[in-house]
Amino acid sequence: MCQHLLLVFTHYQSVDSLYKTSPLHFTLLGDATMTLRTAGSMLVVFLWSVAVVLGQNGWSVTYTTQSICVLKGSTVKLTCSFRYPRGQKVTSNFWFTKMETEDIGLDPEYAGHVEYHGDKEKDCTLRITDLRERDSSTYRFRLLTDQEGGTYTGSPGVTLSVTGLQVKVTGGHQDKILTCITTCTLTDNPTYIWYKNGQHLDESTSPQYKDPVSSNYIDGYSCAVKGHEDLHSPAVCVQGQDCSRVTYTKRRICVLKGSTVDISCTYVGYYSTTSTFWFRSDKSTPEDLTRDPGYTGRVEYTGTYKGPFTLRISDLIEEDSAEYRFTFKTQNFEWGHSFPGTTMSVTGLQVKVTPAAEGQKTLTCSTTCTLTDNPTYIWYKNGQRLDEPTSQQYSVNSYYSDSYSCAVEGHEDHHSPAVCVRGESCMNVTYTHQSICALKGSTVDISCFYTHPSWHNLTEVSWFNKWESGVTKDLSQDSEYTSRVEYYRQTEKDSTLRITDLRESDSTEYKFRFTTDKARWGVQLPWNNSDCHRFSGGGDS
């Protein structure tokens, strides 16, 4: 039976110096066995509990567990609570993995993977997402107060082990044994799931597959843990190397709304295929995406036998968020539909404004999921691109008139809406349409809405489609558009560009600019949540 063990440090120095101090004195509460000697001797502690408290003179950190083993690609929470002497105020607290006590929240290696939860008074919870094997380490919590010497580190910390799944095949030719193996013992007694040729077979708390194993050369087996089916093992052949297998390039991806994504896999079949297609796992019956009305004109298959075979989806919308699976058929065989595939999350960008130091704000280019491939971020101030920063966060000390927007490099057209940093009225432009397709010879209206602080006086508005080194040319003054363009508005905060007698050469991107007696809206911000306004030479597109 598991007992609760409480270790309380009573030595007068800080816990940071425990490794250098001797002798050490402990108070032991609960049923356990301990052997303790002075410096230079062996310290042996038998722990029968998952909760350990290390404390001294009012300081303590309690870790909920000392060790955790979890799956690669999953999410884990490392939890603890802490106490500190009365009369002191916590100024900073963080988790670290290195002896030099670097905050992992500021470590680029963990960017987009860690979140701090809890509060500064007692709770310390670290959440790590999309775990990698290199995240395996011992994590410790550290807090600092406003008093001299007010530094405390909780030891020994929490040892995190991250493992993948592998199917191990043992036994003779006719009596194969399959075992779902890991490099550490998974926490919480998981339930294992088995797949044969992409079809769900069995569930068990044992890592071994209990039923007779097929010795057919086409049969491939894989395992997963219940609740983490998308983190399954690679499929293995029981006989030979030509069994049926589907391997996805990425198990999870997070991509921007409006962009294009490639989801790919490789597959092997013992027999020649008669058909292949992709489908959404949330459909009651697997349906070829090329025949799904919701994907009409947006889906393309590329690749050849043994791949990589790629599903390309363009003009992504949030409703495209789903798990996508691949299947193939032969004259003798069909790859099962229950084998997990690639889970895609589609997100937009939003600028989140939070208070920072006095007079400052912290801007975060936030998403509903962590974007794949560690993107470089772009920031815009009043429509003008900023050279710095290129990170997800930006600290500003800004005027009431300033607005900010963010984008991801390579996807500048899919930027966030601009937000006011102070107040509700700032410089901003929002375009009415995402894109326009019009006939040659017809007339088109391109519209936008704009705002500025009430104490600004509007001095100039213009539309343009050419800019070099920050120099623009008003379309109403452009000889190519003489007598074909007109500006008009219905309110004080909208503008419409009307172009008549459209030509194929008019197909391009058009932008709006305005100037007040105190500021100017920049020219580098792309269309708001759109591609660009372009025109077709005729027919539908």
pLDDT digits (tens, 9 = 90+) for 442-475: 999 999 999 888 888 889 888 988 776 556 788 9
Structure confidence at residue 240 (pLDDT): 78
CB contact at 8 A, 132 and 139: no
- Of 343, 340, 75, nearest in space to 234 by CA: 340
Torsion angles phi and psi, residue 290, rounded to 5: -70, -15
**Beta carbons within 10 angstroms of residue 58's beta carbon:** 12
For the chain, what is the largest distance between any 2 Cα atoms, rounded to a whole number of angstroms? 96
Instruction: Say what the pLDDT of residue 212 is.
Output: 85
Residues 6+ away with beta carbon under 8 Å from 110:
104, 128
Domains in the chain, please, with CATH?
A: 6-162 (2.60.40.10), 166-243 (2.60.40.10), 246-342 (2.60.40.10), 348-420 (2.60.40.10), 428-516 (2.60.40.10)
Residues in the chain where the model's pLDDT stays below 70 = 1-56, 100, 118-121, 305-307, 468-471, 526-541
What's the pLDDT score for residue 540? 36
Cα distance between residue 30 and residue 46, in whole Å:
12
pLDDT, tens digit (0-9, with 9 covering 90-100), for 229-266: 999 999 999 887 788 889 999 999 999 999 999 999 99
This prediction has a pTM of 0.74
- Residue 307 vs residues 141, 279, 335: alpha-carbon distances, Å: 46, 17, 16
**pLDDT for res 492:** 83
